């Protein structure tokens, strides 16, 4: 892909974009001047699909008019409601529907999965995570280790990039697994690293870990809806993700969980139980003994939050209409364009932490700017750009193929250059 630095080429790429119509499926937050802001924060909170409002209102209406009868007589009956999103979610992560369930929040699901898949023994008790991982994941892992009466000093392994590098090399992960694998019970890594944007090689990591007898889980918070995933074929044991980042299902909406088919009927695995994981056909006999359903659904605890599910269902429909493959193609172009425009300006002190190889990243670029990062971030914010700042010195920018345009990227990069050089921001006339 070759790019040109001028504004007209951004316009041309937008005109040629086969997914352009999907922007109108979303509410774009406005600036104080009433214009569309340049929203590059879908990695943190995805925008609201227009059709979500009607979907949520439908459930409010059915609750208002039907009360408890809504469980069976709502337009979308609540009793089997969670099933309405399973297939669409499974497509996004490359799984069979029986391997996927949407439930709870992400960190909750990580815990439930560790209850089943972190079963330390005297000789195999370590958990391997990536260095500088998302705090919630680290807290969850530390608490699981302590819950088993173990000491994180000896039971937690963290893998870091080499001195002077930003990215964790796959060969280093493999080497560590080769060396320590016999003592590792669980490998639990991000699919896409939240800070650097590195897309880990799920298949190679899983193969090596399995070869050494470890179980493998991935946190796909920054991967689901962003990069192509093939959880079933990769052979990953479990995975968890949230739906409010790239999946646009609304703040705190219901999370996802994958359990590989090979564990579908492993009823002897320890698990925390609740009635929604109980065999559907006898759940309402209200018997005293627990009989879990086969597959991922068997890890459910509670009856699902219908309002959150309504948003999730409507949002996943948009994904299904657009298709992950075309989305990924546009994503590679958009992020490549962003990288090109930033590098082409030769900005002093600019560093992109994210891998330059499109195969090793999703849409996010993580940028540092020597000492000026925070000032530049502030100036961008004052000029209608919504992206995010991560301590200590990183600006994360995520052009999302469902609703961002090449023009968004062009305007962002231009303002970024002006702010970094200390120039006044030239806002172009509204487009
Ligand atoms: C966003 C994110 C979370 C958030 O966890 P919640 O339980 O949804 O609050 C956890 N882990 C990672 C890697 C994330 O990116």
Query: Whose Cα sits closest to atom 1 in ligand 1?
Result: 221
pLDDT exceeds cutoff 60 at 204: yes
Domains 7-36+323-420 and 55-320 fall in the same CATH topology: no
Provide the token pair at 257.
Answer: 């969980």
Strands 385-386 and 365-369, sheet pairing: unpaired
Q: How confident is the model at residue 393 (pLDDT cuts 50, 70, 90)?
A: confident
92, with CB counted inside 10 A (0-12, 13-18, 19+), is buried
- 106 Cβ below 6 A of ligand 1: yes
- pLDDT tens-digit series, residues 214-248: 999 999 999 999 999 999 999 999 999 999 999 99
Q: How confident is the model at residue 122 (pLDDT cuts 50, 70, 90)?
A: very high
**Mean pLDDT of the region 201-210:** 98
- pLDDT tens-digit series, residues 58-86: 999 999 999 999 999 999 999 999 999 99
SS (H, E, C) 271-329: CCCCHHHECHHHHHHCCCCCCECCCHHHHCCCCCCHHHHHHHHHHHHHHHHHCHHHHHH
Alpha carbon of 310 to ligand 1 centroid (Å): 21
Alpha carbon of 232 to ligand 1 centroid (Å): 22
Specify the ligand 1 atom closest to the Cα of 244: 8
Note the CATH architecture for domain 55-320. Answer: 3-Layer(aba) Sandwich (3.40)
- Run of H or E residues at 127: strand 126-130
Alpha carbon of 140 to ligand 1 centroid (Å): 11
From CA 20, how far away is CA 14, in angstroms rounded? 7
Q: What dotted CATH number matches 7-36+323-420?
A: 3.90.1150.10
From CA 308, how far away is CA 429, in angstroms rounded? 39
pLDDT of residue 391: 85
Query: Whose Cα sits closest to atom 15 in ligand 1?
Result: 221
Percentage of the chain beyond pLDDT 90 is 93
- pLDDT tens-digit series, residues 300-330: 999 999 999 999 999 999 999 999 999 999 9
CA-angle at 363, arms to 163 and 30, nearest 5°: 125
pLDDT of residue 370: 85
- pLDDT tens-digit series, residues 84-107: 999 999 999 999 999 999 999 999
Q: How confident is the model at residue 392 (pLDDT cuts 50, 70, 90)?
A: confident
- DSSP-derived secondary structure for 21-83: GGGGGBPPPB-TTSSBPEE-BTTTSPPPBTHHHHHHHHHHHHHHHHGGGHHHHSSS-STTTTH
pLDDT of residue 218: 98
pLDDT of residue 272: 96
DSSP assignment, residue 168? -
Domain boundaries, the chain: 7-36+323-420, 55-320
Q: What share of the chain is helix, strand, coil (3-state, %, to 5)?
A: 45, 15, 40
- 220 Cβ below 6 A of ligand 1: no
Provide the token pair at 423.
Answer: 């120039």
Specify the ligand 1 atom closest to the Cα of 190: 13
Alpha carbon of 123 to ligand 1 centroid (Å): 30
pLDDT of residue 426: 80
pLDDT of residue 1: 75
From 178, 225, 239, 180, select the one nearest 45 (Cα to Cα): 225
pLDDT of residue 294: 97
Alpha carbon of 108 to ligand 1 centroid (Å): 10
**Mean pLDDT of the region 7-32:** 97
pLDDT exceeds cutoff 70 at 49: yes
Residue written as tokens 């705090």?
135
Average pLDDT, whole number, for the chain?
96
pLDDT of residue 428: 62
pTM exceeds 0.85, yes or no:
yes
pLDDT exceeds cutoff 50 at 431: no
Q: Alpha-carbon Rg of the chain, whole angstroms?
A: 23
Query: Whose Cα sits closest to atom 14 in ligand 1?
Result: 221
- pLDDT tens-digit series, residues 341-350: 999 999 999 9
Phi and psi, residue 152, nearest 5°: -55, -30
Alpha carbon of 96 to ligand 1 centroid (Å): 24
pLDDT exceeds cutoff 70 at 429: no
pLDDT of residue 430: 43
Alpha carbon of 136 to ligand 1 centroid (Å): 6
Asked which of 16-25, 117-126, 372-381 is least confident by mean pLDDT, the reply is: 372-381
pLDDT exceeds cutoff 90 at 375: yes
- 130 Cβ below 6 A of ligand 1: no
- pLDDT tens-digit series, residues 268-308: 999 999 999 999 888 888 888 999 999 999 999 999 999 99
């Amino acid at each position: 892909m070759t790019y040109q630095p001028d504004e007209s080429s951004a316009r041309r790429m937008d005109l040629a974009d086969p997914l352009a119509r999907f922007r109108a499926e979303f509410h774009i937050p406005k600036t104080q001047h009433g214009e569309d802001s340049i929203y590059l924060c879908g990695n943190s909170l995805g925008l609201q699909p227009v059709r979500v409002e009607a979907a949520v209102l439908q459930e409010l209406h059915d609750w208002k008019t039907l009360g408890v009868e809504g469980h069976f007589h709502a337009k979308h009956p609540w009793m089997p409601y969670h099933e309405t999103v399973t297939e669409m979610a499974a497509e996004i992560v490359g799984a069979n529907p029986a391997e996927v369930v949407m439930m709870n929040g992400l960190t909750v699901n990580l815990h439930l999965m560790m209850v089943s898949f972190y079963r330390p023994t005297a000789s195999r008790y370590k958990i391997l995570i990536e260095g500088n991982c998302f705090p919630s994941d680290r807290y969850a892992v530390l608490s699981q280790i302590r819950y088993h009466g173990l000491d994180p000093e000896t039971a937690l392994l963290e893998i870091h990039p080499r001195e002077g590098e930003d990215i964790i090399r796959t060969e280093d992960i493999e080497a560590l697994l080769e060396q320590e694998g016999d003592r590792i019970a669980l490998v639990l890594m991000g699919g896409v690293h939240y800070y650097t944007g590195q897309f880990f090689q799920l298949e190679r990591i899983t193969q090596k870990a399995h070869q050494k007898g470890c179980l493998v889980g991935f946190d796909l918070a920054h991967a689901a809806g962003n990069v192509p995933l093939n959880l079933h074929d990769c052979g990953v044991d479990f995975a968890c993700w949230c739906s409010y980042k790239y999946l646009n299902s609304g703040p705190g909406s219901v999370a996802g969980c994958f359990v590989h088919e090979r564990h579908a009927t492993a009823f002897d695995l320890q698990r925390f139980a609740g009635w929604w994981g109980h065999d559907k056909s006898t759940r309402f006999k209200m018997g005293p003994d627990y009989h879990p359903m086969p597959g991922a659904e068997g890890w459910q605890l509670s009856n699902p939050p219908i309002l959150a599910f309504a948003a999730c269902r409507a949002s996943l429909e948009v994904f299904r209409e657009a298709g992950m493959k075309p989305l990924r193609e546009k994503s590679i172009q958009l992020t490549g364009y962003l990288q090109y425009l930033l590098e082409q300006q030769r900005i002093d002190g600019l560093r992109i932490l994210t891998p330059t190889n499109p195969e090793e990243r999703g849409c996010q670029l993580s940028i540092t700017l020597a000492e000026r990062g925070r000032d530049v971030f502030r100036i961008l914010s004052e000029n209608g750009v919504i992206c995010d700042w991560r301590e200590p010195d990183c600006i994360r920018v995520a052009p999302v193929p469902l609703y961002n345009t090449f023009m968004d990227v062009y305007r962002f990069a231009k303002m970024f250059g002006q702010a970094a050089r200390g120039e006044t921001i030239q806002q172009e006339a509204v487009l």
